[in-house]
Amino acid sequence: MEIMSGKGSTQSQKNTCPHLGEAYQPFVNPQLDDPYSFYERARSEEPLFYSPLLDAYVLTRYDDIQTVLKDPTRFSSADALRPIVHFPPEVLEILSQGYPDVPTMLNSDGENHKRLRLPFTKAFAPEQLEALEDSVRAIANRLVDNFVNDGHADIISQFACPLPLEVILIMYGIPLEMGTDIKKWCDDRTALRSSQLTKERQLECARSHVAMQQAIAALIEERRIKPRNDLISDIVTSDLGMSELVILLIGIILAGHQTTTHLIGNALKLLLEQQQFWQALCKDPSLIPFVLEEVLRYDTSVPSMIRTTTQEVSLAGVTLPKGSRIFLMYSSANRDEAQYPDADRFDIERFQHVSVNHLAFGYGIHHCLGANLARREGRIALEVLSKRLPNLRLRPNQQLDHIPTMMVRGFTQLYVEWDVT
């Protein structure tokens, strides 16, 4: 598989940090399951190193990443969604049948970023999210109803995924029966852009990408003719063009459920593997917001984001030319010993005593628009599960597999058990 070539790549760049760069293999074990040991070493030895695999730099320290996020002028978001691999002509031919990539909230800067973000701010305003609370709780309880008498479940596919996905579908006014297709389309789109795939799998994912674009475009056209009380109807009256509407709506569907799915899944894994944490949460649900913040810090479901230098810059003691791509490793920053005492310890009371300052939702102008929705969904998920399944536990001796992608961190499945009374 040919990796995408960065605009600023030179032979001198590739030789900047050859030792750690060659050793960085995030798509395979042991680093796929445990990237944190490698990042700890990087923060100490080479906090900014060049990865031949990604043909980009990898930045690992909290303060350095904050420096980048605070300076969108020198560190642009323009390449934030750029695929990590070259696509062969056959894949490009399929993609050409859909809508062209246009800037979104994630990969735009300045005034254009504000223009693209503004139409969606109403949907994610606090009063709108408050109004969704009862619906989120009803969905969570209905999902538990479906498996509560079984004594076992894959909590990812049966709860953590359908919960935020259904919430987004409700916000969009999309029929719930489209959920299965949308889930597959989103998974394929993420794999296409941020994983290493065979050519055959790339072709399959490209077809999914175009199918999703066409489905969302059809819904937009329907709302133009017959508006409803939903997000799609609200934004079709904005000044956004058709390609912008399609790409933005798809991006929010994807980000709005995938990251929360893995927030819930990662939280359950961490809480259930040390049962005293789960029991503490069951006895005192007021801990749940603090628990979620520690999960977001300790094992964030959004491990990285990309920035590109707009001029020559000095960062972490390295001079980077204009056009250098940098992976900002939020997952490393959130374990930085200089920022968090005992950073590698999962401490459910950590944020009871200090302000929340992790980077799980980014920082600055690109702080995640849906952060409060994700927190609300995560809180309700844990409230419902802890109340209804207080004896929940991990199924012993299961193989836990992480999704091999740079942009999402979570499990492919997570099996749990409980006593049926």
Predicted local distance difference test score (pLDDT) of residue 105:
86
Predicted local distance difference test score (pLDDT) of residue 79:
87
Q: Which of 48-52, 61-65, 193-197, 350-354 bottoms out in mean pLDDT, i.e. has the lowest? A: 193-197
Predicted local distance difference test score (pLDDT) of residue 12:
39
Structure tokens at 336: 């930085």
Q: Which of 15-19, 252-256, 262-266, 413-417 bottoms out in mean pLDDT, i.e. has the lowest? A: 15-19
Predicted local distance difference test score (pLDDT) of residue 243:
94
Q: If pLDDT is split at 50, 70 and 90, which confidence band does 8 have?
A: very low
Full set of structural domains in the chain with CATH: 11-417 (1.10.630.10)
Alpha carbons 187 and 261: distance in angstroms, whole number: 12
Alpha carbons 272 and 195: distance in angstroms, whole number: 29
Distance of CA 244 to the CA centre of its chain: 21
Predicted local distance difference test score (pLDDT) of residue 122:
81
SS (H, E, C) the chain: CCECCCCCCCHHHHCCCHHHHHHCCCCCCCCCCCCHHHHHHHHHHCCEEEECCCCEEEECCHHHHHHHHCCCCCEECCCCCCCCECCCHHHHHHHCCCCCCCCCCCCCCHHHHHHHHHHHHCCCCHHHHHHHHHHHHHHHHHHHHHHCCCCEEEHHHHHHCHHHHHHHHHHHCCCHHHHHHHHHHHHHHHHHHHCCCCHHHHHHHHHHHHHHHHHHHHHHHHHHHCCCCCHHHHHCCCCCCHHHHHHHHHHHHHHHHHHHHHHHHHHHHHHHCCHHHHHHHHHCHHHHHHHHHHHHHHCCCCCEEEEEECCCEEECCEEECCCCEEEEEHHHHCCCCCCCCCCCCCCCCHHHHCCCCCCCCCCHHHCCCCHHHHHHHHHHHHHHHHHHCCCCEECCCCCCCECCCCCCCCECCCEEECCCC
Average pLDDT, the chain: 91
What is the tens place of the pLDDT at every residue in 248-257? 999 999 888 8
Mean pLDDT of 40-58: 95
Predicted local distance difference test score (pLDDT) of residue 109:
87
Alpha carbons 412 and 48: distance in angstroms, whole number: 30
- Residue 53's CB is within 10 A of a number of other CB atoms, namely 16
Predicted local distance difference test score (pLDDT) of residue 3:
37
User: Could you tell me which residue, 219 or 122, shows the higher pLDDT?
Assistant: 219
What does the chain come to in residues? 421
**Is residue 80 within 8 Å of 194, Cβ to Cβ?**
no
Mean pLDDT of 280-304: 97
What is the tens place of the pLDDT at every residue in 74-90? 999 998 888 877 899 99
Alpha carbons 203 and 93: distance in angstroms, whole number: 10
